[in-house]
Structure 1
Amino acid sequence: MGKESTHTRRRTLQSIFGVAVAGLTGLAGCSSPDASGSTARTTDAGTQTTTETQTTTDAETTANETTANETTEQEDETTESGLESADFVENPEEIHPTLVEETSVPSDEVLLGFRLEDSSLPFTTEVYRAPDDAEVQATETYDTQDLSEVDLLPDSPQSLDTVDTDREDIHYGTTAIGEPLKVTLVARHDGDTIDWSAWSRTGYPHDGHDEEEPALEVDCYCGGMNYTAPSGGTWARVIQVTPTERVETGTTVALNWTSSRL
């Protein structure tokens, strides 16, 4: 099926900033004392002023060109990293009203919205229902974009319904209290192989974070893990979210994952 083993690797994102310092050396004119000494000194002084002015201008031009080149290089590095160039919003509280307004939830279930904030990545993450027997947190890469070859999806892949926003769409589904909503995240990528990580998860009115008894049990598009999207291929990972008894039935929950390349 063209499946490749996924390996986890860590990489430190580095930004290199250079400072150009131009050293300026003054050149003094000199003359021999003679009858025309005064005129000679005046001429030399004028030559000196012109030389110093030209030297200063040349130095400033060089410094400006160096600074411009360094600024361009820094901007290229920022764009490549995708960290500072992207406008991350992490706004589940703000998108929650849109999700409520555009969907309906059965009175005995919970609606879970998945928003994958991947605006710094060269692909849009797709969300499909996972096979019943899929192992949670299983992750695979494939050398094809044909979803029929992705064994972390069912034979007839069914994507979650979506709600449009002015940013990334919200994928959503419903489930009962104590029953996991299990999905497969899919990235189909045409460019060069890239590495990235999901480094933040937030939610409203529940996020399941840093609680002894969380309202949501989230397993796990995890921060601190590195993922690889192969060139011309597919990356897939199985995750699930389970509402606990702390969540009232009929509740709509918006979850946001923020990710960026390494």
Structure 2
Amino acid sequence: MVGRATYDYSGESAVVTGSTSGIGRGIATALAEADADVVVNSRTASDVDETAAELDELGDGSVVGVAADLSRTDEIDRLIDEAIDAFGEIGILVNNAAVWPEEASMVDAPLEDWDAAMHVNVRAQYYASKLVARHMIERGLEGSIVNVTSQTGDRRTGGRGLYGTSKTAVNGLTWRMAHELANEDIRMNAVSTDATDSRQLRREAGRIAADRSGQTTEDVLEEWAAERPLGRLGRPADVADAVLFLCSDAATYVVGTILRVSGGGNLQ
């Protein structure tokens, strides 16, 4: 491996949705370590408070928590308002929060699962981006917005139909909105994950292990890791590295790109 990247985000302020565990926490951690001011978020106040307190010890910036349910637009309004109140402005938005509907065929899945996936995984990303972009335009900020999407959004077959459909929509949102926002010096991009170690992935692995005699969650995770061309699962830090690159001055000419952080899983 050649070359080493370091990032300085001192004086920058970021909102990372769904950031008390897994990929979101990894992104918030990396920004905090790079001295950014960070707003962490989830639905559960105790998780938010605990995460904010722990991350606040990492760098020279400040970390605050805002509990908000991103399936509700009024809660997104409050999240963005409280972030601006805390730090004066928002220069970075990372739309990470997502839900995984229960695995079911798209014929049998209840409409409520469709609504939940679209509200959190797509509408919330759009609405938060809309609010933050308007804020950036009004303040004359050259901001960065990063959406978190998934390889399931590229695939035409396989399981997780509702989740995959929602991520296909996120890809389209990224391309369309990036083109419009570029005229305002706001760069929107996305990072696309594959099998990345997270609470949701472990829950899915546990469900599969329960249906297999003599297998554990770790057995299933090891199986998935072996299937990746690089031979391991993704780590939250892998995704965080991509986000820090996209939001940095090293990527000032990168717009509307879906950066695939998948260990080669996107090639399969």
TM-score between both structures, scaled by the size of structure 2 = 0.24
Structure number having the greater helix percentage: 2
Structure number having the greater strand percentage: 1
Higher relative contact order, structure no. (Cα contacts within 8 Å, ≥ 6 residues apart)? 1
TM-score between both structures, scaled by the size of structure 1 = 0.24
- Structure having the higher Rg: 1
